[in-house]
Structure 1
Amino acid sequence: MTVTTDAEARGRGYPLTRLKGRWIDDWRPEEPEFWAQGGARVARRNLIFSIFSEHIGFSVWTLWSVLVLFLGPAYGIDPAGKFLLTAVPALIGSALRIPYTFAVARFGGRNWTIVSAALLLVPSVLAAFLIEPGVSYSTLLVLAAVAGVGGGNFASSMANINAFYPQRLKGWALGINAGGGNLGVAVVQLVGLAVLATAGNGSPGLVAGIYIPFIVLAALGSALYMDNLSQARNDRRAMRDVARDPHTWIMSVLYIGTFGSFIGFGFAFGQVLQVQFKAEFDTPIKAAYLTFLGPLLGSLIRPVGGWLADRLGGARVTFWNFVAMAAAAVVVLAASLQASLPMFLTGFILLFVFSGIGNGSTYKMIPAIFRARAQLGVANGGDAAAAEHEARRLAGALIGIAGAVGAFGGVLVNIAFRQSFLTYKTGDAAYIAFIAFYALCFALTWLVYIRTHPRKLAGV
């Protein structure tokens, strides 16, 4: 039994009956007839509104990557203090991703999207009215921490959309969902640029205030057009079960390298330009002209990572992508040593692009791992339906854990920059750390998922 709109239920051979609220029961996306006769339409509608809500969530989460550009001498905050202001929402956002993933199973994807969108009003309203010269640094830290609620939206959105789509389309669907959300990082920086260009650097609250009506629209759209999947309500033990699986922590490390880099650089890039190239970026608006470009390209190309993984295999794409990220970080290091701004910008933009591709390919690997195990179990005489259910259950839980750990990478990036600039007055030590970590990631991908060994999972 399923619930959706009456128009979708009539005339398509879709065997639906209405349950209480907007709950869908008996969701079978792997069956071609079910998918063709209405499943695809329902999934697409949920995907559209999921993207919009997640997009606004990312913008609010990374709001402080823009707001710190407004904190001039009147606020009395040094670069180290500004890096801390961007690390705090990254930390809170990463911590919230675990409970946000649980919330989808507990309350339903639609219901939780409404709540999580509405919660974005809190940091936006507070920032709109409280940021002004004379405000204490501790107050700014609290405001930055509250903005972390936007970071949780990604985990709940991805877990929800993962349940709607069949295996053959997961890479595309998760890539589109995440890419549309990631665009919020670039868009909030464009909003900041527009405010700096029109109102000057004395109106930081205006950046936050612009998002208030869009938050309301996201909550209303979710309420009117999204659905809950009843099958996602069952296993409270899924997170505990998947936490015992070594693949969970391997994929979490890989996601630190991809998404952690993307969100960490998104928070820090404007500050890095202002600190490392002071002469070229002596005003906030000069940095703002460039900070949106990397997140924009990284977000737009994320679906390409999922698309490539669908065709070439997630592990293979992820491996070569980490090789490329290490090479791009070498370019950034060389540019820093030579004080070459064009080379520096080129290397950083490449890092954003490759992190976007890697975001898509690593997320494709997650359901593929459990799908491969399910197929192995069926080949050994197991029940196909039970194996498929188990794969979807564990994949959804792993998406939550990997999303949370990966987002914590954004904290590590900002801490690395803060410590490097405090100790050495340049970001060189941070760039060396990034190179070493990307090397670890491509070695780990090859050892576990590419090289031939007895426990290798086929099709990952």
Structure 2
Amino acid sequence: MTATGTAPAPPSRGGRWIRQWDPENETFWKETGEKVARRNLLFSVLSEHIGFSVWTMWSVLVLFMGPEYGLTPADKFMLTSMVTLVGAVVRVPYTFAVAIFGGRNWTIISASLLLVPSVAAFLVMEPGTSFSTFLLVGLLAGVGGGNFASSMTNINAFFPLKKKGWALGLNAGGGNIGVPVIQLAALAIIGASGGPRVLLGIYIPLIVVAAVLAALFMDNLENVKNDTGAAKDAARDGHTWIMAVLYIGTFGSFIGYSFAFGQVLTNQFGRTPLQAAYVTFIGPLLGSLIRPLGGWLADRWGGARITLYNYVAMGAATAVLIAASMQKSLVLFTVAFVVLFVLTGLGNGSTFKMIPGIFQAKAQAQGLTGEAAAAYGRRLSGASMGLIGAVGALGGVGINLAFRQSFLSYGSGTGAFVAFLAYYAVCFAVTWAVYLRRSAARSQATTAAEAKPQLSYAEV
């Protein structure tokens, strides 16, 4: 472990590169690291927040699109599904981008790219525009979904293991809250009889501000750059894909429901766009705010345990949703949906806390200690987060497609909720079998770990 307790050499204004970074060194962390890490976290949250707003703007733009736009409910679900799909796919290259360009540099670039879908939507948002044009412009909004992957990979490298749950939860929660914020903005604009271009006109200058602030106040870490091989190593590790399955259940649910909630209320319960907008923001807002709590609970009691219990609660909330949907009870349906949103937020925090803990445990099982173990964990967990985030976001695609098919087949979302309940049961079983069942932990241990039978993933 590096013994220094002094600050790294100040980065030059031309590049803002930090060449020495050792957050596991408590002296370094207290004297220098924490202040720098928190500053980067703040402006990372801002950029990611606006990215989420741009990514999910079509969840509210479709509420503006009345009969004069000529789109069916199936068209709108297809539109939001494709936006979600692009947002998931671009998370993979965005993960590599941090290692290629540096965290600060890529934040500037990725924030600036948000201007493309925002300006394009501003230009075409009017009756008479073809569905194919809306679909093409909607696909551009998917770049906003990539900001999450690069931001989480970057911030993961700034914080020590014992702070990662809180830091990653705050980073992701601050980004996720971009969903209800744009929905609240849409509510205000609809209520004031404004049009969708007013909403887009608000966000375009905010994007410029986020890019400028990232340029002025963020830093690049030298030890993260030029490690593109980490993503390849993470892709070969089975835990990356196991955690991706679990993250589909939490974040996939969060982003999928964020896109679909308003449409379900209008199509199944006959709510007007304004009536739907009054409640659609509540679930994403609470789910975003509680995500850091999920990370904190995981820091204290273990991410695997919190994730397991959270899936039990998600299953119960979904069962209530099925009953409310069949009984056509709007009040019960809305309350249960909001509760489910809250649980997705908790699960988002706990699952992402598990990732660095898993790779730290693997490092120790291989006989690594101190900074060597921490470096191994940072390297693979940072790379895997982007891949896990990409696959997890695909869950949002599945949710919107499931709703589309359910409405086409049954005229309601009940069939989709039954499928979601089954998936949460699978996630519960996977969490228990891989990370909490004692025999599973032993079977995955390496030869080096056999001398340490107490090693378990239950504490991750």
TM-score under structure 1 normalisation?
0.94
User: Equivalents in 1 of 2:6, 2:324: separation in Å?
Assistant: 61
> In 1, are the aligned partners of 2:50 and 2:207 still within 8 Å (CA)?
yes
- In the other structure, the counterpart of 1:449 is 435
Between the aligned residues of both structures, percent identity stands at 62
> In 2, are the aligned partners of 1:130 and 1:205 still within 8 Å (CA)?
no
**2:294 pairs with 1:314:** no
Residue number among 27, 33, 36 corresponding to 1:33 in the alignment: 27
Match runs of 1:28-427 below 5 Å? 28-200=22-194, 203-278=195-270, 281=271, 283-378=272-367, 382=368, 384-427=370-413
> In 1, are the aligned partners of 2:48 and 2:151 still within 8 Å (CA)?
yes
User: Equivalents in 2 of 1:110, 1:144: separation in Å?
Assistant: 27
CA shift for structure 1 position 166? 0.3
CA shift for structure 1 position 240? 1.4
> In 1, are the aligned partners of 2:46 and 2:210 still within 8 Å (CA)?
yes
> In 2, are the aligned partners of 1:65 and 1:268 still within 8 Å (CA)?
yes
User: Equivalents in 2 of 1:416, 1:215: separation in Å?
Assistant: 33
Counterpart of 1:420 in structure 2: which amino acid?
Answer: S
Match runs of 1:424-443 below 5 Å? 424-443=410-429
Counterpart of 2:9 in structure 1: which amino acid?
Answer: L
CA shift for structure 1 position 17? 5.0
> In 2, are the aligned partners of 1:317 and 1:358 still within 8 Å (CA)?
yes
- In the other structure, the counterpart of 2:9 is 16
CA shift for structure 1 position 18? 4.3
User: Equivalents in 1 of 2:113, 2:258: separation in Å?
Assistant: 22
CA shift for structure 1 position 312? 0.5
> In 2, are the aligned partners of 1:310 and 1:364 still within 8 Å (CA)?
yes
Give the gaps of 5 or more residues in structure 1: 1-11
CA shift for structure 1 position 457? 2.9
CA shift for structure 1 position 122? 0.7
User: Equivalents in 1 of 2:155, 2:11: separation in Å?
Assistant: 21
Aligned residue pair count: 443
User: Equivalents in 1 of 2:10, 2:165: separation in Å?
Assistant: 30
> In 1, are the aligned partners of 2:88 and 2:145 still within 8 Å (CA)?
yes
Counterpart of 1:37 in structure 2: which amino acid?
Answer: E
Deviation per residue, 1:14-72 (Å, 9 max, x gap): 25254561001110000000001111000000000000000000000000000000111
SS at match of 1:232: coil
Counterpart of 1:448 in structure 2: which amino acid?
Answer: V
Task: Pick which of 239-248 and 311-320 moved more.
Answer: 239-248
User: Equivalents in 2 of 1:68, 1:257: separation in Å?
Assistant: 25
CA shift for structure 1 position 235? 2.0
User: Equivalents in 2 of 1:216, 1:389: separation in Å?
Assistant: 35
SS at match of 2:147: helix
Counterpart of 2:399 in structure 1: which amino acid?
Answer: V
Aligned-pair RMSD on alpha carbons?
Answer: 1.5
User: Equivalents in 2 of 1:269, 1:28: separation in Å?
Assistant: 43
User: Equivalents in 1 of 2:104, 2:161: separation in Å?
Assistant: 21
Counterpart of 1:297 in structure 2: which amino acid?
Answer: L
Deviation per residue, 1:133-166 (Å, 9 max, x gap): 1001100001110000100000000000000000
SS at match of 2:332: helix
Deviation per residue, 1:80-121 (Å, 9 max, x gap): 000011111100000000100100000000000000000001
Q: Against the structure 1 CA distance between its residues 144 and 171, is the aligned structure 2 distance closer, same or farther, given a 3 Å change threshold?
A: same
CA shift for structure 1 position 272? 0.3
User: Equivalents in 1 of 2:7, 2:289: separation in Å?
Assistant: 34
CA shift for structure 1 position 459? 2.4
> In 1, are the aligned partners of 2:314 and 2:424 still within 8 Å (CA)?
yes
User: Equivalents in 2 of 1:43, 1:34: separation in Å?
Assistant: 12
SS at match of 2:177: helix
> In 1, are the aligned partners of 2:53 and 2:181 still within 8 Å (CA)?
yes
TM-score under structure 2 normalisation?
0.94
User: Equivalents in 1 of 2:206, 2:371: separation in Å?
Assistant: 41
Give the gaps of 5 or more residues in structure 2: 445-455
Deviation per residue, 1:201-235 (Å, 9 max, x gap): xx112211210111010000000000000110132
